[in-house]
Amino acid sequence: MYQYLMDCRKVEEIAARIYRIFAVQKIFSAEVKAVFQQLSQDEAAHARQLDLVIQADPREVPVVARIARDKLNEVLALAASYEEQAKHPELREEDALRMAVKMEREFIKVHVQNVLTFRNQKLEKLFGELAQGDQQHIDRLNACVTAWNEKNT
């Protein structure tokens, strides 16, 4: 259980790093960089929220029979892959936005699966809030994609 939560935190940390990389890309518009800067801060906050759970008394976070490990491993691998792609010097703004939307959609799946998996109200609430935050990220990113399409078509 501890390792699972550590891996959930790791996903959030990787996402924060990816968004920090995007936020300083010279060829990206100021508006898009500002969105990525905010998303980086949000993901770092998500990691801190998970830290609080990790530091909790283990009796307050009971182990459940089934933990959604396969999906978490898939998302960890995806995030690591995207982090490498984010470092590519010729990454286009449009590609970064689309990558971020796809990544957030996968994060939502993990958070929702966690809500359904954990039999602990605090964890259900936390993962529900993380899923809502990721949906807000998708909405902001989709608005950026729409603006990008309008500006470039």
- pLDDT of 53 reads 76
Please count the structural domains in the chain: 1
Q: How is 64-114 classified by DSSP, letter by letter? A: -S---HHHHHHHHHHHHHHHHHHT-TT--HHHHHHHHHHHHHHHHHHHHHH
The domain in which residue 10 lies consists of 2-152
* 134 contacts: CB under 8 Å, gap ≥ 6: 104, 105, 107, 108, 111
- pLDDT of 115 reads 67
User: Tens of pLDDT along the chain (153 residues)?
Assistant: 677 788 888 989 999 999 999 999 998 999 999 999 999 999 999 898 888 777 766 665 555 535 567 778 888 999 999 999 999 888 998 899 989 988 888 887 777 777 666 666 777 777 788 878 888 888 888 888 888 878 887
| Most distant CA atoms of the chain, gap in Å | 56
**CATH assignment at residue 43:** 1.20.1260.10
- Rounded-to-10 torsion of CA 76, 81, 86, 88: 160
pTM beyond 0.85, yes or no: no
